[in-house]
Amino acid sequence: MSNNKPMPVPTQISAPFWEGLKARRLLIQQCNACSHWNFYPRRHCPVCLEHDLAWREVDGAATLYSYTVTRIATLPDFIDEMPQKLAVVELAQGVRINTNLVGLDEGEIEIGMPLQPVFAEVDAKGNRLLRFTGVDKDASSLEALPAQDSEPLSVASEQPAVQQIDMNDGPALQALVSEAFCDWSNVVVVDQALINAFAQLSGDDYWIHTDPERARLQSPFGGTIAHGALVQVLQSRMKLALGFEISGFTTQINYGSDRLRFPAPVPAGSRIHSRARVKKVELLARGTQLTLELTTHVVGQDRPSVINDLVILYIA
């Protein structure tokens, strides 16, 4: 599963809904004045305009009002969920909810079919999204977090001790230098939309990057590939599990690169991740200079797509 998916941000008004899902409960607002059920969460009743709304638990029994099957990801981060069954379901209380159908083959989906809720876990923090499946399905078996990439972000971010090292602590800094790379970062998907956006930004719209049809026929890679420079800058989206943080500086500068190579292509649609090691530490008059050897690979590939000896300068 991609770790970059946008997550709901609860507001003061919607927080009870999201908190309910975390506890595997479906809470919907009902107007105390006119009994109208209300979704999405609001401050007042859309029928009588009263502000007296109560959160009430419902069992989630629903029917399918409408749906579509998307075969092109709505965002690059959803490539791993294709095809998605985007649906509007109607709860027994009459409110309609935008959602996804899960655990159903396309051939099983019919307008008007009865549905039950699935409290789908979406991260290691226990956040859940409301999805739906057929009433003959085992909803609880569809709730678990999908199998993660081999080295997910959650592992990296949950590593307990991040060592704080002062930028002037020469011995501690020198001890960071190692031949061994850290664990893999989170995974980022490099899809055609991202490549096109970079082509527009950089002005490099060479067909090998931007014309999937021609690239399929003529490119040695059998399709479009990402710009090396794009894959290089995506290092900013990688959360590296280096296990330390430098402290005591006022400014941190990307000072450039001692070595930059693009040994392997990144075909459009690839999932990439990075790892790094501290190659060199220098305490200089202008500041502390850390050289990281950072490599980015297509997931599962030994040969790196980017090798970057990245020089970071910490200024007091």
The residues that touch Zn ion, with contacts defined as CB under 5 A, are: 31, 33-34, 36, 45, 47-48, 50
Which C-beta is closer to Zn ion: that of 36 or that of 275? 36
Least distance CB 58 / Zn ion (angstroms): 17
Nearest to 260 by CA among 226, 301, 293: 293
* SS3 label, residue 286: coil
DSSP state for residue 33 in the 8-state scheme? T
Least distance CB 49 / Zn ion (angstroms): 7
CA 78 to chain centre: 8
Least distance CB 63 / Zn ion (angstroms): 24
Least distance CB 53 / Zn ion (angstroms): 8
Least distance CB 61 / Zn ion (angstroms): 22
Which C-beta is closer to Zn ion: that of 49 or that of 75? 49
Which C-beta is closer to Zn ion: that of 23 or that of 48? 48
Sign of CA dihedral 89, 146, 267, 312: positive
Which C-beta is closer to Zn ion: that of 91 or that of 102? 91
| Cα–Cα distance measured from residue 296 to residue 232, given in angstroms and rounded to the nearest whole number | 8
Structure tokens at 299: 């997931």
Which C-beta is closer to Zn ion: that of 56 or that of 259? 56
State residue 77 phi and psi, 5-degree precision: -70, -10
Which C-beta is closer to Zn ion: that of 27 or that of 31? 31
Which C-beta is closer to Zn ion: that of 5 or that of 96? 96
Least distance CB 10 / Zn ion (angstroms): 23
* SS3 label, residue 296: strand
| Residue environment code for 89-118, b if the CB has 16+ CB neighbours within 10 A, otherwise e | bbbebebebebbbbbbeeeebeeebebebb
Q: Give the DSSP letter string of 209-277.
A: HH-HHHHHHH-TTSS-B--HHHHHHGGGG---B-SEEEES-SEEEEEEEEEEE--S--BTTEEEEEEEE
Least distance CB 46 / Zn ion (angstroms): 8
Least distance CB 151 / Zn ion (angstroms): 51
Q: Give the DSSP letter string of 141-210.
A: GG-SPPPPPSS-HHHHHT-S-PEEEETT-HHHHHTTB-SS--B----EEE-HHHHHHHHHHHS---HHHH
Which C-beta is closer to Zn ion: that of 42 or that of 96? 42
